[in-house]
Homo-oligomer: A and B are copies of this chain.
Amino acid sequence: MANTSSRTLRLLSLLQARRYWPGAELAQRLQVSARTLRRDIDRLRELGYPVEAQRGVDGGYQLAAGAALPPLVVDDEEAVALAIGLRAAAQDAGEGIAEATVRALAKVVQVMPGRLRRRVEALSAMTVPAGWGGAGGGGLDPALLTQLAVACRDSERLRFSYTAADGRHTERQVEPHRLVALRRRWYLVGYDLTRHDWRSFRLDRLSSARGTGTRFRPRELPAADAAAFVRAGIDQARVGHEVEAIVDAPGATVRQRIGRWSTVEDADDQRCRVRMSVDDLDWAVMALVTLDADFQVVSPAELLDRIHDWGHRLGRVRPAGPAPGASNGPVSTKF
Using a CB–CB distance below 8 Å, which chain A residues touch chain B?
3-6, 8-9, 12-13, 16-20, 43, 46-47, 49, 58, 62-63, 65-82, 84-90, 92-94, 96-97, 99-101, 103-104, 107-108, 110-114, 116-117, 123, 126-128, 132-135, 150, 153-156, 215, 245-246, 251, 255, 257-260, 263-268, 271-273, 282, 285-286, 289-290, 292, 294-298, 301, 304, 307-308, 310-321, 324-325, 327, 329-335
Contacts and interface: CB of A to CB of B under 8 A. Distances in A.
A157 to B, nearest CB: 13
A259 B89 contact: no
Contact of A78 (B107, B126, B265): B107
Contacts of A134: 290
B107 A81 contact: no
A107 B74 contact: yes
Given A128-B92, A260-B335, A111 B292 contact: no
Number of copies: 2
A6 B8 CA distance: 9
A286 B108 contact: no
Contacts of A111: 16, 49, 63, 65-66, 69-70, 72
Nearest to A66: B113
A331 B81 contact: no
A16 B297 CA distance: 50
Task: Across the A-B interface, give the 5 residue pairs with the lowest CB-CB distance, nearest first.
Answer: A267-B325, A85-B89, A71-B71, A5-B5, A19-B154
A325 B266 contact: yes
Given A290-B132, A314-B310, A71 B13 contact: yes
Contacts of A112: 65, 69
A68 B312 CA distance: 55
A308 B315 contact: yes
Given A127-B260, A310-B289, A327-B265, A81 B63 contact: no
Given A314-B307, A333-B263, A68 B113 contact: yes
